[in-house]
Amino acid sequence: MTLSRFAAVQWLSFAAVAAVLLYLLSPILTPFVAAGILAYICNPLVQRLSARKMPRTLAVVLVMGGLLLLSGLLLLIMLPLLEKEISLFVMRVPDWIDAARTHLLPQLQQWFGASVAWDSQALKNLLLSHWQGAGGVAGKVLPWLGSSGGAIVGALVNLLLIPVAMFYLLRDWDALVARLDELVPRDWHRKVTEIFVEVDRVLAEFLRGQISVMLLMSAYYTVALWLVGLEFALPIGILAGMLVFVPYLGMIIGLSLATLAAVMQFPGFSGVLLVWAAFGAGQLLEGMVVTPWLVGDRIGLHPLAVIFALLAFGQVLGFFGLLLALPLSAILLVALRHGKAWYLTSSMYQKP
C-alpha cells in the first residue's frame, strides 16, 4: 500500500473538512452517537437471533424491548427505595430537632457562655409549613419552564431520537457496513479491513470485560453493605455496581443512597462511617485492581496504562473522556501496533 504526496494532501484535506463538520454539527450529533454506541453493543445479539431464522426487524424489536425492560427494572429498584427513604426522613426530622435541643443546646451554651433560645415546636411548625407549601414551588417553576420551553423540547426530541436512530441502525447494520466497505479505496481495502477487524475484536473484549466489572462490583457492594448491616444493601449494591460503566456515577449515586439509608437506620454515626469505608474500598478495588485486570488485560493494556488513560482522557475531554477512555485507548492501541509494524519495515528505520 503506497501513498503519493498528492493523495496524502487529498486525505488530509478530507480529514480536515470532516473534523470541521463534526465540530459544527456536534450539538445535533449526540443522539446519533449514543444510538450508534448502543447499536454496536446490541448488534451481536441481533445477529445471533437472525442466524436462527428470525426476521431481523423482529430481532431488533425483541432486543430493544429487553433493553427497555432492564431500564424499567432499574427504575423499579430505585423509585421505591427513594420513596421510602424520603418518608423516613420526614418522619425523623422532629426526633432530630428534639435531639439537637437536648444535646446541642447545652453544648452551645457552654461554648458561648450565653443562653440560646430554642423553641422546638415553633421550628417543627416552620418546617412543616414549608414542607406543606412545597406545592407552591410549581407556580415558580412553570414560568421558568415556559421561558425554557425550546431547550426542554429539544432535549426531549434528542432523547426520543435515540431509540428511533438505534432501531434503524440495528435493522440496516449489515447494509450500512457494506456501503462503508465500498467506499474504501481498493488498494487499501485489505489493510483497512484487517485494522477494523482487530478494532472490533478489541472493543468486543472491552465490552465483555466491562460487563464482568459491573457484575463483580455489584456483588461486592451488595455483600459489603450487607455485612455493614444496611437494610437496603441489595438494591443499592446492584445499582452502584451496574452504574460503574459510567465513571464516578455509580459511586456518587450509590454512596448518596447508602448514606441516606444509613442515617435513617443507624442511631449513631458509626454506621455511616462503615458505609463510607465500604464505598471507599470499593473505589480502590475497582480502579486499581478490577478494571485494570478484567478490562486492561482483555484489550492488551497494562494496568498502569489503563489508569493513565482514565486520567489523560478525563483531563482532555472531561466527563465524556472518562466514559470513552478505555475504548478509545483500545482503538489507539491497534493504530499504534500497525504504526509500529510500518515503522520497523520503513526505510526510515532500516536505512543505515
For residues 159 and 201, state if they share a domain.
no
For residues 80 and 155, state if they share a domain.
yes
The pLDDT score that the predictor gives to residue 134 is: 46
For residues 163 and 222, state if they share a domain.
no
Distance, in Å, from the CA atom of 327 to the CA atom of 247, rounded to the nearest integer, reads: 13
In a domain, 107, yes or no: no
DSSP 194-259: HHHHHHHHHHHHHHHHHHHHHHHHHHHHHHHHHHHT-TTHHHHHHHHHHGGGSTTHHHHHHHHHHH
In a domain, 115, yes or no: no
In a domain, 267, yes or no: yes
Q: Which three cell numbers stand for residue 52?
A: 436462527
State the amino acid at position 161 in one-letter form. L
In a domain, 142, yes or no: no
The pLDDT score that the predictor gives to residue 137 is: 43
The pLDDT score that the predictor gives to residue 301 is: 63
CA distances from 75 to 72, 79, 232, 308 (A): 5, 6, 15, 34
| Number of domains making up the chain | 2
Q: Which range of residues forms the domain containing residue 286? A: 188-352
For residues 313 and 341, state if they share a domain.
yes
The pLDDT score that the predictor gives to residue 58 is: 92
Distance, in Å, from the CA atom of 220 to the CA atom of 241, rounded to the nearest integer, reads: 8
For residues 25 and 58, state if they share a domain.
yes
For residues 172 and 272, state if they share a domain.
no
For residues 162 and 241, state if they share a domain.
no
For residues 220 and 347, state if they share a domain.
yes
Q: What is the pLDDT along the chain (352 residues), one digit of tens a residue?
A: 445 566 667 777 877 887 777 667 766 777 787 788 788 888 888 999 988 888 999 999 999 999 889 888 877 776 776 677 667 666 766 666 666 666 666 666 666 665 555 555 565 565 555 555 444 444 444 454 455 555 566 667 777 888 888 899 999 988 888 888 888 877 778 877 888 888 888 777 777 788 888 889 889 998 998 998 887 788 888 888 887 776 667 778 888 888 887 877 777 778 888 889 999 898 888 878 887 777 766 666 666 666 676 677 666 656 556 666 666 777 777 777 777 777 777 777 776 6
Q: At residue 54, what are phi and psi to the nearest 5 degrees?
A: -90, 135
Q: Whole-prediction pTM value? A: 0.63
